[in-house]
């Protein structure tokens, strides 16, 4: 298996993670994106020793899209600082069932603030703070809709575990295929309908703005008629997440 490389230089490696693949290894011992990337670079560059790859953020296993990796410890530290300071812009595309509450207004960014609690392996959402809760903030814009489905651009402001999945479910529109958060709508094997479509950052060495995008998987567009698919692609290409 070879990684789908979107961008690479001496400091960064940006890949398009397929749904169903762990970003980093866990106790299951299953293959991870980090394993794939390290093995690929070791073979391609004929490196005799260990390969350094810095993991600065993650995507959930059933989520696809842009993952930014560091090839040096200096780049890893500077990227981590950008993420902590929220100077990066992370955009996602999510496909949900139509909601009578949240997707009636098209092409307008709306901010959603909740409080997130994580008992065990599930993120719970509340409208008021509670003991051990963390703030969860995202911005949402509905860009396409049919009678049964809606497609949203999502700008993640805080980066909590399962944040997008939990907040959309709380808003009454769980992501297609996300049974863990109440979806009854099938999507695709080992995948939920959430794709990290772009990541904008400052290059850790050149300090120049850099925006990397990952093409939308065809299974997203398959939910919409041909004319709407063209509209969707156009909107994704032209939207940089400015709210």
- Residues with a catalytic annotation lie at 60
* Three-state SS at 123: coil
Cβ proximity of 213 and 22 under 8 Å: no
Which among 69, 91, 73 is positioned nearest to 9, based on CA atoms? 69
Please compute Rg for the chain using Cα positions: 18
CA dist list (Å): 26 to 39, 52, 98, 221: 17, 18, 35, 32
Euclidean distance between CA atoms 20 and 109, whole angstroms? 30
Euclidean distance between CA atoms 23 and 211, whole angstroms? 20
CA dist list (Å): 37 to 15, 91, 107, 160, 211: 9, 23, 37, 25, 21
Q: What is the DSSP letter of 56?
A: -
Q: What is the DSSP letter of 179?
A: G
Alpha helices, DSSP H only, in 25-179? 33-44, 73-84, 163-170
């Amino acid at each position: 298996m070879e990684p789908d490389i979107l961008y690479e230089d001496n400091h960064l490696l940006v890949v398009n993670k397929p749904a169903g693949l762990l970003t980093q290894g866990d106790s299951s011992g299953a293959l991870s994106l980090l394993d794939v990337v390290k093995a690929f670079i070791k073979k391609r560059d004929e490196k005799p020793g260990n390969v350094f790859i810095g993991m600065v953020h993650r995507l959930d296993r059933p989520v696809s899209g842009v993952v930014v990796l560091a090839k040096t410890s200096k780049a890893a530290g500077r990227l981590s600082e950008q993420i902590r300071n929220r100077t990066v812009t992370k955009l996602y595309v999510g496909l949900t069932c139509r909601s009578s509450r949240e997707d009636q207004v098209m092409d307008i960014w709306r901010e959603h603030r909740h409080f997130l609690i994580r008992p065990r392996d599930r993120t719970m959402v509340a409208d008021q703070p509670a003991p051990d809760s963390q703030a969860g903030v995202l911005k949402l814009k509905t860009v396409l809709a049919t009678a049964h489905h809606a497609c949203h651009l999502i700008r993640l402001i805080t980066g909590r575990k399962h944040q997008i999945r939990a907040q959309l479910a709380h808003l009454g529109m769980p992501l297609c295929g996300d049974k863990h958060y109440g979806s009854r709508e099938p999507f695709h094997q080992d995948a939920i309908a959430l794709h990290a479509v772009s990541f904008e950052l400052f290059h850790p060495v050149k300090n120049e703005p850099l925006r990397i995008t990952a093409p939308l998987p065809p299974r997203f567009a398959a939910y919409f008629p041909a004319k709407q698919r063209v509209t969707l692609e156009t909107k994704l290409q032209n939207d940089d997440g400015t709210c």
